[in-house]
A and B are shown apart, each in its own frame.
Chain A
Amino acid sequence: MLDQKTLEKYLSLCMDSAADFAEIYEELETKEIITMLNGRVENVNEAVTSGVGIRLLKGVQSVYAYSNETGEEAVLPLIRDLAAALGEGKAEKPVTLTRVEYENRHPVRIDFRTSSLEDKTRLLSRATDAAMAADDRIVKVQAVLLNVNQEVQISNSEGRLIGDTRVRTRMMVDAFAQEGDNFQSGADRPGAGMGLEFYEQTTPEETGREAARVAIVNLSAGDCPSGKMPVVIDNAFGGVIFHEACGHALEATSVAKNQSVFSGKFGQQIASPCVSAVDDGTIPNAWGSENIDDEGNFQQRRQLIKNGILTSYMIDRLGARRMGMAETGSGRRESYRYEPTSRMSNTFILEGGASFEELFEGIEKGLYAKKMGGGSVNPQTGEFNFSVGEGYLIENGKITKPVRGAALIGNGRDILMNIDRVCSNLERGQGMCGSASGSIPTDVGQPAIRVTSITVGGTANE
């Protein structure tokens, strides 16, 4: 990382322009991916990326330069380029930095960088063996171990100099089951903001068995029904419904420019009164957590919705300027190649009071979405989708036959009002979220919920 004196020099040069704010984001990331197929290690790939992103702001205008060359001969021309792009204006505003120290909320015990490849590949072997042993019909298992160590240092013209180290690990197991010509798959992909000690609490065997279980269920799954019906969405990754239907539309990325269905709705009822939801980047060692956001502000717990009332947006620095509201520590980015913008961290619906059985009461024909895939949303219109990875029919209040994948679609404006029961079994699941500032790790989550009516995109038309 650049030393304090050099950063002060660069920032002072940045501020010798029309800029009213300047920021330097430095990053050094080591990523290791090990892939295994049917117990054999196919590939071990290590990638080290390092670079710097320099941002100048003038009101709500921004100019941004990024490079992996950090010497003066590369950086000074970049700063001059940025200053010229901002237009006329010159005022010497020298910058003096003060380093901010804090206690790490996300300690790591077993560093993947110093663990042996043998130890790491053994984790994958354990998952593979458990998946293969789960059922004779499991014919293939693909297992991937991802580990990331990301060091960032952020300095700005307000005099702040602060750093963070984010460590993440994730195991992704895909199991393939075959019965005659019928070939299906199932997956499980747990992760955390932890070192390899994560696999002491979420064992590779559990992950392998879960992937196999879903593959076997899909062997006997029939066509999903089609049309509008009540849906019970289970916990953990079921929270992708909130992430897509509401989460993105509460990011200043779209709200600030009046491009969200929830723009201008602060303090209004946007969800059913049984829905309360938070975005919390402080949860110790969670997949979407970090000590500071990528603008150098401490992460926060943000209560987005309380009893159906919109109580907070997620707001980055530029969003705050546009909206005239306070920043919420939500400025995130995939890497130095992106400007930050407001993003989610760990986003979930809070526990309710219904029992799991109550969610199914009174449903003559519906869908139980036990496991979800990903989804997407257009925050402007509110239209969103997310996919069912493992589903079952609900017939007369009972879970019956398994059915295979369908997209569930709706409009965020309406769907949150259609949640009428929220259970108490809150859990979170891990995913990667894509938006204007790239792909970032986020948790989604919820207890099991019931949506009274949602369009299910199956093939079994009546």
Chain B
Amino acid sequence: MNKEKWIQAAAEGGFESFEIYESLSKERSLRWFSGEMETFVTSRVTGYALRGIYSGKMVSYATENPDDAQMDRILAVMKEQAAAITSEDESFILAPQETECVKNTHNFISPEAGKVKEALAYVEKQILAFDPRIVQVTHLEWSEEDNCRLITNSCGMRAEDAGRVQVLVAGAAAVAGEEVRDDFLVRTVENLSDFDLDAFVKKLGETVIAKFGASPVASGTYPVIIEKDAMTSLFAALSGMFSGEKIGKGLSPLRDKLDTQIFSELVTVIDNPRNADYVNLMNYDDEGCPTRAKTVVDKGTFSTILHSAKSAARMGTQSTGNGFKASYASAVDVRPQGCYIVPGVKSLEELEKEMGDGLVITDLAGLHAGIDHVTTDFSLQCSGYLVKNGVREKSVTLITIAANFLELMKQVRAVGSDLDWNYRSIAAPSILFEGIAVSGE
């Protein structure tokens, strides 16, 4: 694609401004099963997302086939879109802004294929040897992904960000009589040669075996710790509430709650795509706006709405550098990145002691369906374990927890210290809550 040619043709065709977002991703992954390679995948995909302002309207087109011979046709299609758009929202294609970029300190070293196979074979063998009840390593995979995005526009923008991540995933199933239990573990791995595979195996094995004997508990209201992985998934699923796009349209439950107490004062939320712990550190959002750290919730008070250029204009303010796409072909939306609940000082064990009697929820399921994003009511399948006098007593499964998230986050008793970013873009530590409705027996 000759980008300058497209930008010039757009200008000559009457576009007030024009942008080309190029995304390149490369992947290699190896899956292992029953002592041999099961699947090997390699890929290289480039996608282009075009945006332009025509007659004051933002129009867009995405293609993986950017043939310069298609240029006139595609620009004509985009002009037709402008005639159809009747929203009065202003949109912008941004001029470059000065920023000092932060270097991503995660250093992912790609191992040789032979070393990967060796490691996977070893992990499978060790998981099966961990306990005789473990009957199968259900999923074992090494994957590497490189991604690069480049934003070029008629305002002189040339913003580039690149990243790499390597991940080891393993799942194991164990059987005792009629009872079947399983679990998964996912970890980022910067250097496979240094990575403690034995600790990885031990963590997975212990988690699976501890699930034996799990059963529901009686329905009722319990003090609950939502453990970090489960809390991360719940918080991430609801983090769209901070979006200026949703708030501006009156669709967010926080639509009129800026500068009010929305969570317990024990809870502070920061959004920082340049967070050094975030593996996909981003210096720019998907509009080329430099990213920065901001306190979204300050000791329980909602203090910053996240914005893209469009949502900011609607609310008479500036972009916060949160204009991100779900994929290169999607429209720009407002999304948190590098967003987290600030950890407290108590470990999970200390939270359990403080709770005394209650439940620890370690897994949540059905997040894509069991949450009402308008009201923040949720009802989710979960599992975990019962705690008596601060000590784990028995595993629990096939129960639900149900609550209103905004009400729940006002009932925080303590925030844990165990924040763990791993591969995630949004993270939370374990949190102890006063009481949550549980359905079981």
Contact = CB atoms under 8 A, between A and B. Distances in A.
A460 B43 CA distance: 50
Contacts of B52: none
A68 B437 CA distance: 49
A261 B374 CA distance: 36
A407 B85 contact: no
B181 A406 contact: no
A307 interface: no
Given A47-B62, A66-B45, A67-B44, A405 B377 contact: yes
A41 B64 contact: no
B370 A378 contact: no
B60 A45 contact: yes
Nearest to B330: A45
A404 interface: yes
A455 B216 contact: yes
Nearest to A386: B369
A61 B38 contact: yes
A184 B374 contact: yes
Contact of B219 (A227, A382, A387): A227
B312 interface: no
Nearest to B65: A50
A261 B180 CA distance: 9
A183 interface: yes
A438 interface: no
Contacts of B62: 45-49
Interface in B351-369: 365-366, 368-369
A457 interface: yes
A410 to B, nearest CB: 7
Interface residues of A, number: 80
A6 interface: no
B366 A259 contact: no
A69 interface: yes
B87 A50 contact: no
Interface in A26-70: 28, 31, 34, 37, 39-51, 60-69
B251 A176 contact: yes
A61 B39 contact: yes
A378 B440 CA distance: 18
B366 A386 contact: yes
A51 B63 CA distance: 11
Interface string A220-246: 000010111000000000000000000
Interface string A445-462: 000000000011111110
A121 interface: yes
B89 interface: yes
Contacts of B40: 62-64, 82, 85-86
Residue of B181, B331, B400 ringed by the most chain A CB atoms within 10 A: B400
Contacts, number: 234
A64 B87 contact: no
B402 A406 contact: yes
A381 B374 contact: no
Contact of A457 (B65, B83, B329, B381): B381
Contacts of A382: 180
B370 A387 contact: yes
A374 interface: yes
A259 B173 contact: yes
Interface in B269-300: none
Contacts of A44: 59-60, 81, 84-85
A76 B85 CA distance: 44
A459 B173 contact: no
Nearest to A86: B40
Interface residues of B, number: 73
Nearest to A84: B113
A459 B398 contact: no
A266 to B, nearest CB: 19
A407 B371 CA distance: 9
Looking at chain A's contact residues, the main secondary structure is: strand
A337 interface: yes
A211 interface: no
Nearest to A121: B84
Given A42-B89, A385-B365, A228 B441 contact: yes
Contacts of A139: 250
Contacts of B253: 183
A73 interface: no
Given A176-B251, A226-B402, A185 B372 contact: yes
A380 B38 contact: no
A181 to B, nearest CB: 10
A63 B39 contact: yes
B199 interface: no
A105 interface: no
A40 B400 CA distance: 40
A41 B221 contact: no
A67 B43 contact: yes
A373 interface: yes
A68 B46 contact: yes
A78 B113 CA distance: 16
A63 B330 CA distance: 29
Residue of B38, B42, B369 ringed by the most chain A CB atoms within 10 A: B369
B81 A117 contact: yes
A407 B44 contact: no
Residue of A46, A184, A374, A405 ringed by the most chain B CB atoms within 10 A: A46
Nearest to B77: A46
A258 interface: yes
A41 B368 contact: no
B229 to A, nearest CB: 16
A118 interface: yes
A411 interface: yes
A129 interface: no
A48 to B, nearest CB: 5
Contact of B64 (A45, A49, A183, A224): A49
B116 to A, nearest CB: 11
A94 interface: no
Interface in B74-133: 77, 80-81, 83-89, 113
A339 interface: yes
B257 interface: no
Interface in B188-246: 216, 219-221
Contacts of B369: 373-376, 385-387, 407
Contacts of B8: none
Interface string A93-134: 000000000000000000000000110010000000000000
Contact of B375 (A69, A183, A385): A183
B166 to A, nearest CB: 18
Nearest to B368: A374
Residue of B39, B60, B77, B249 ringed by the most chain A CB atoms within 10 A: B39
Contacts of A227: 219, 439-441
A387 B402 contact: no
A258 B250 CA distance: 48
Nearest to A183: B374
Interface in A255-281: 257-259, 261
A118 B84 contact: yes
A457 B87 contact: no
A135 interface: no
A378 B290 CA distance: 41
25 contacts: A37-B87, A41-B87, A46-B60, A47-B61, A48-B63, A49-B62, A62-B38, A63-B41, A66-B45, A67-B43, A184-B374, A226-B437, A228-B441, A337-B43, A373-B369, A375-B369, A378-B182, A380-B138, A383-B397, A387-B370, A387-B379, A405-B379, A409-B398, A457-B402, A461-B220
Among all A-B residue pairs, the 10 with the closest Cβ atoms = A457-B400, A374-B369, A385-B381, A47-B62, A117-B84, A385-B366, A47-B329, A44-B81, A459-B437, A373-B369
Given A69-B44, A184-B374, A406-B400, 19 more contacts: A44-B59, A48-B64, A62-B39, A63-B39, A66-B43, A68-B65, A140-B251, A185-B374, A376-B368, A376-B369, A380-B173, A383-B365, A386-B369, A387-B379, A409-B381, A409-B399, A455-B216, A457-B370, A459-B403
